[in-house]
């Protein structure tokens, strides 16, 4: 099953009984604050244009109230937009009728929730088969498929437990197993790991990354944690006050933050884990020296292997093994420690 | 000293009631109209009443004519199956035998039959209304005041229309009991469904549940503790109402209580009263233990 991308185009959401009436005013420049003060309506999302590539993880990051949870709920239309479209495989989700929408939710999407949202009266196994049960899949077949995923997320032996008997991390594994059992192309994760302890969160991120390597689903991941966003996201969109302030790869965001707001965020990030060798390498001068370094190796690992091998010089090779640049320890360390500020970037 | 009526005009002093003649005319028109309406539809009414009558008679005969030891064993089996609790089961046996010992076995069986039928009807009527009410705020705003009236209106008052429509007998009594006992069932079903965790409902939506699947898989199971409380309340209220319903011809313990009131038979009154209390306690403990057993999964074992 080839994964399709999701295109969000010109999406607006105004909360309130007469949201549609103010859409033109908002498009014409009425601010969120004015809309709230004058008309008592809340501007949830404005002019969102995000393209989420098929088979990749798109992270939507923002603080609370930025509209990120609203945005993810537009993809399976748990929230109806005021204007705009959400295209999946050429079809606008926002224009689907009730039956098509239900079929879309059943077969194309699966969702993982911040507070797990498991059925408390059902065992782990019965929670996992929920999506298939709704689709009307035969019980034996769904149990077989659910058991596989329960095992994959590391819950083997807990099939007969109730959610209340499990810790938060284990409950979210059930949530993940329930979503994966659905075997849907789109995986929506709404702050799925935000309620977990830091160590368990990293653990779960690893689980997701490993699964994604083989599954290649179109994952939309919501988080308020930039480290999490950088670790998981193939592409990242940063939301503020219902508006996309920047989107791009993790490296792009760390190296060229679009404004003060993102600069402030990025300052605290461990740059060595984000920036790749090819981003900071210098052009090849003469013959390649030292050890070969893969172009997409992160600087932390580059520094580690240079030090371990007692070298200061290395050359960067592309996927085919051809040398494309050179790198040395000072370059690596400079890139890792200097927080390039937004203003310096502009001056450069 | 009361203010004398000399300084005020008469209109402001004595309340201008609409007058006896008008009231009498109104009363006559309404009462007669109502009676004529009932008379015109008597066939329809008897068709509606007939199955209730048959069911009630069947259950009553079954309870009364079955040997007491069989009834007792079945009761104990049901209580044990529902509560899985030896103490409640033994308590049931002991208290039922005490009732038998004071000579109230048959009357208790009659009361048990009518309470069983009334509770079943109340659940059958109350559950769907409660579910519909939970889905629509508008329906809730219409049904709630009706329930308020049903619960606050003195129960004797609505015996009157019941008697006018259905006459004297067991079935009118049954209907009065159901009217009295159904409001908590409706209210608590509505409340239970409205209190279901929004997140879980959203998850059900996200997986593409139809509204029927949501009801069956999420709303009813999660609302079940509250619904069980509603059933419990319904049983208690119908037990209270069988005494009042004896005024329109329901037999059993209630009738004995009524006779005791009329004749000031202190001992008889209390014996019958206690028999009702015993049944109430058996029903209550059993249904609560059953409810707790259904909720086993919510016991937090891991913090």
Average pLDDT (B57-83) is 93
Rounded Cα gap, residues A21 and A12, in angstroms: 12
CA distance to partner chain A, nearest, from residue B284 (Å) = 24
Q: Could you write out the DSSP letters of every residue in A149-165?
A: HHHHTT-TT-TT--GGG
Query: In this structure, what CATH number is given to the domain that contains residue B296?
Result: 1.10.3720.10
Q: Could you write out the DSSP letters of every residue in chain B?
A: -PPPTTSS-HHHHS-----HHHHHHHHHHHHHHHHHHHHHTHHHHHHHHHHHHHHHHHHHHHHHHS-HHHHHHHHHHHHHHHH--HHHHHHHHHHHHHHHHTT-HHHHHHHHHHHHHHHHHHHHHHHHHHHHHHH-HHHHHHHHHHHHHHHHS-TTTTHHHHHHHH-SSHHHHHHHHHHHHHHHHHHHHHHHHHTS-HHHHHHHHHTT--HHHHIIIIIHHHHHHHHHHHHHHHHHHHHHHHHHHGGGT--SHHHHHHHHHHHT-HHHHHHHHHHHHHHHHHHHHHHHHHHHHHTGGGS----
* B172 belongs to a structural domain: yes
Q: Per the confidence metrics, is the pTM higher than 0.90? A: no
Question: Which among A109, A113, A131 is the nearest to B199, CB-wise?
Answer: A113
* B86 belongs to a structural domain: no
Q: For position B47, what pLDDT does the model report?
A: 86
User: Which residues in chain B are contacts of A118 at CB distance < 8 A?
Assistant: 200, 203
Mean pLDDT of chain B: 89
Question: Which among B203, B297, B301 is the nearest to A117, CB-wise?
Answer: B203
* B184 belongs to a structural domain: yes
Q: CA nearest A219: which of A203, A228, A208, A207? A: A208
CA distance to partner chain A, nearest, from residue B216 (Å) = 11
Q: State pLDDT tens for residues B223-275.
A: 998 999 999 999 999 998 998 899 888 889 999 999 999 999 999 999 999 99
Average pLDDT (B196-205) is 93
Residue A14 neighbours by CB distance under 10 Å: 26
Could A166 and B302 be called an inter-chain contact, meaning their C-beta atoms sit closer than 8 Å?
yes
Could B206 and A188 be called an inter-chain contact, meaning their C-beta atoms sit closer than 8 Å?
yes
Count how many pairs of residues, chain A against chain B, have C-beta atoms within 8 Å: 73
Question: Which among B213, B222, B300 is the nearest to A134, CB-wise?
Answer: B213
Q: What is the ipTM of this complex?
A: 0.82
Q: For position A296, what pLDDT does the model report?
A: 85
- Interface of chain A against chain B, CB under 8 Å? 76, 78, 102-107, 109-111, 113, 115, 117-122, 130-131, 133-135, 162, 164-167, 182, 188
Could B301 and A109 be called an inter-chain contact, meaning their C-beta atoms sit closer than 8 Å?
no
User: Which residues in chain B are contacts of A105 at CB distance < 8 A?
Assistant: 205-208
Instruction: Say how many domains are in chain B.
Output: 1
Kindly give the residue spans of alpha helices, DSSP state H, lying in A182-240: 198-215, 226-232
Is the Cα torsion angle B232, B234, B240, B245 positive or negative in sign?
negative
* B269 belongs to a structural domain: yes
Q: For position B7, what pLDDT does the model report?
A: 76
* B240 belongs to a structural domain: yes
Query: pLDDT 10s digit of each residue in chain A, 348 long?
Result: 467 889 999 999 999 988 888 898 888 888 888 888 888 899 999 999 999 999 999 999 988 888 999 999 999 999 999 999 999 988 999 999 999 999 999 999 999 999 999 999 999 999 999 999 999 999 999 999 999 999 988 899 999 999 998 988 899 999 999 999 988 999 999 998 988 888 889 989 999 999 999 899 999 999 998 889 999 999 999 999 899 999 999 888 888 888 888 888 888 888 888 888 888 888 887 788 788 888 888 888 888 888 888 888 888 888 888 888 888 888 888 888 765 554 455 444
Mutation for A interface: B202, B208, B220, B221, most A CBs within 10 A: B208
Q: CA nearest A185: which of A99, A287, A91? A: A91
Range of the domain at B135: 51-67+102-302
Average pLDDT (B123-137) is 95
Mutation for A interface: B196, B206, B291, most A CBs within 10 A: B206
* B111 belongs to a structural domain: yes
Mutation for A interface: B203, B213, B222, B297, most A CBs within 10 A: B203
Question: Which among B199, B210, B297 is the nearest to A117, CB-wise?
Answer: B199
Q: State pLDDT tens for residues B74-103.
A: 999 999 999 899 999 999 999 999 999 999
User: Which residues in chain B are contacts of A106 at CB distance < 8 A?
Assistant: 207-208
Question: Which among A76, A104, A164 is the nearest to B301, CB-wise?
Answer: A164
CA distance to partner chain A, nearest, from residue B201 (Å) = 8
* B112 belongs to a structural domain: yes
Residue A95 gets which letter from DSSP?
Answer: G
Report the share of chain B in percent with pLDDT over 90.
61
Q: For position A2, what pLDDT does the model report?
A: 61
Q: For position A338, what pLDDT does the model report?
A: 60
Report the share of chain B in percent with pLDDT over 70.
97
- Interface of chain B against chain A, CB under 8 Å? 197, 199-200, 202-203, 205-210, 213, 217-218, 221-222, 224, 297-302
Could B206 and A76 be called an inter-chain contact, meaning their C-beta atoms sit closer than 8 Å?
yes
User: Which residues in chain B are contacts of A167 at CB distance < 8 A?
Assistant: 302
Residue carrying the six token digits 């008592």: A40
* B24 belongs to a structural domain: no
Q: State pLDDT tens for residues B206-227.
A: 999 999 999 999 999 999 989 9
């Amino acid at each position: 099953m080839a994964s399709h991308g999701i295109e969000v185009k010109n999406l607006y959401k105004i909360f309130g009984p007469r949201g549609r009436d103010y859409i033109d005013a908002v498009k014409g420049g009425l601010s969120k604050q004015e809309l709230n003060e004058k008309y008592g309506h809340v501007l949830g999302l404005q002019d969102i244009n995000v393209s989420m590539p098929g088979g990749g993880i798109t992270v939507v990051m923002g603080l609370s109230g930025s509209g990120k949870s609203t945005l993810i709920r537009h993809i399976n239309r748990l929230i109806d937009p005021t204007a705009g479209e959400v295209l999946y495989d050429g079809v606008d989700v926002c224009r689907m009728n009730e039956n098509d929408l239900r079929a879309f939710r059943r077969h194309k999407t699966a969702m993982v929730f911040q507070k797990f949202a498991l059925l408390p009266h059902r065992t782990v196994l019965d929670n996992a088969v929920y999506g298939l049960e709704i689709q009307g899949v035969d019980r034996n077949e769904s149990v077989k498929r659910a058991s596989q995923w329960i095992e994959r997320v590391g819950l083997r032996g807990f099939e007969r437990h109730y959610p209340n008997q499990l810790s938060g991390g284990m409950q979210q594994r059930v949530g993940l197993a329930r979503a994966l059992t659905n075997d849907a192309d789109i995986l929506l994760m709404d702050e799925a790991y935000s309620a977990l302890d830091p160590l368990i969160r990293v653990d779960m991120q690893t689980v997701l990354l490993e699964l994604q390597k083989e599954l290649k689903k179109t994952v939309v991941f919501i988080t308020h944690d930039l480290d999490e966003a950088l670790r998981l996201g193939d592409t990242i969109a940063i939301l503020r006050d219902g508006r996309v302030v920047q989107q791009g790869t993790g490296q792009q965001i760390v190296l060229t933050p679009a404004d003060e707001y993102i600069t402030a965020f990025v300052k605290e990030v461990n740059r060595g884990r984000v920036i790749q060798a090819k981003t900071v390498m210098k052009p090849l001068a003469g013959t390649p020296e030292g050890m070969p370094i893969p172009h997409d190796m992160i600087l932390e690992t580059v520094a580690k292997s240079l030090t371990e091998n007692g070298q200061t010089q290395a050359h960067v090779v592309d996927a085919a093994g051809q040398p494309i640049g050179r790198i040395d320890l000072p370059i690596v360390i400079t890139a890792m420690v200097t927080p390039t500020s937004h203003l310096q970037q502009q001056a450069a | 000293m009361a203010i004398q009526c000399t300084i005020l005009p008469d209109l402001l002093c004595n309340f201008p009631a609409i007058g006896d003649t008008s009231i009498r005319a109104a009363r006559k028109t309404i009462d007669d109209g109502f009676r004529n309406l009932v008379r015109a539809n008597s066939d329809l009414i008897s068709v509606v009443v007939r199955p209730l009558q048959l069911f009630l008679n069947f259950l009553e005969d079954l309870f009364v004519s079955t040997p007491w030891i069989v009834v007792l064993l079945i009761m104990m089996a049901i209580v044990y199956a529902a509560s899985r609790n030896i103490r409640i089961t033994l308590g049931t046996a002991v208290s039922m035998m005490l009732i038998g010992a004071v000579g109230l076995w048959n009357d208790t069986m009659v009361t048990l039959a009518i309470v069983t039928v009334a509770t079943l009807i109340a659940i059958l009527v109350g559950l769907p209304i409660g579910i519909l009410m939970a889905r629509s705020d508008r329906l809730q705003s219409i049904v709630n005041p009706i329930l308020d009236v049903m619960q606050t209106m003195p129960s004797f008052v609505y015996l009157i229309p019941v008697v006018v429509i259905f006459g004297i007998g067991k079935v009118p009594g049954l209907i009065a009991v159901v009217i009295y006992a159904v409001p908590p069932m409706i209210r608590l079903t509505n409340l239970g469904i409205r209190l279901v965790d929004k997140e879980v409902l959203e998850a059900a939506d996200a997986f593409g549940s139809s509204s029927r699947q949501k009801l069956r898989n999420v709303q009813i199971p999660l609302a079940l503790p509250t619904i069980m409380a509603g059933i419990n309340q319904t049983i208690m209220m119908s037990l209270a109402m069988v005494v009042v319903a004896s005024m329109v011809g329901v037999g059993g313990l209630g009738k004995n209580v009524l006779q005791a009131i009329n004749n000031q038979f202190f001992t008889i009154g209390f014996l019958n009263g206690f028999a009702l209390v015993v049944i109430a306690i058996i029903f209550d403990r059993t249904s609560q233990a059953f409810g707790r057993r259904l909720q086993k999964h919510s016991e937090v074992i891991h913090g």
